[in-house]
Amino acid sequence: MLWTAEQDRALFQLFKDLGAHWTKIAKEFPGRNENEVKNRFYSTLRRVANTQQGKLIPEDRSKTGLLKYVDFALENGHFCASKRGRKRKSPTNRPEANPQDIVPTKKRTELIEENKATLKSVEEQLRESRARAENFEQRVDRKLDNLIELQQKLMGLLDKTKQELSVAPKNAEEHD
């Protein structure tokens, strides 16, 4: 949307009345957001400052300094309509956007629901896998306990056999 000289004048008057409350000022310009309003104000202010004295000097960025330029613009009518307007950025006029890639809201909602269902399914599979892994770990622990118990029994039998073998030759010598 292009700015008209009347809108510029109203913008400067609102700034003078309300100060730099861009949200409040933007409400007076339907279809424009606070950033667009603020950018238009400062670009017009820069043009006014250039007309009056060359450049907007940093110390003039105080509220008092800005009001000096606002008053000058309001008194002398240094407003002009926009010569060119920028189109709002939307997915269709961005160069990188492909119209086929734009997903309608209904389809987007369906995709979100599908993704939620897929996520639930994956979460359930993960829970099942964790349960199987825990079950497997418990079985492995039981088998290890059984093996340790069996090893202890075998060690006991081995010790008993060694004792019997060491006693057996002595008994054989006594019988001879």
15-33 confidence digits (pLDDT tens): 888 888 999 999 998 889 9
HSE, side-chain direction, 13 A CA sphere, residue 82: 14
d(CA 152, CA 170): 28
Does the pTM of the predicted model rise above 0.95? no
d(CA 39, CA 34): 9
Mean pLDDT of 98-105: 58
102-114 confidence digits (pLDDT tens): 556 667 788 888 8
Name the nearest CA neighbour of 1 among 84, 92, 95, 90.
84
Confidence grade of residue 93 (pLDDT, cut at 50, 70, 90): very low
d(CA 44, CA 50): 10
Domain boundaries, the chain: 5-91
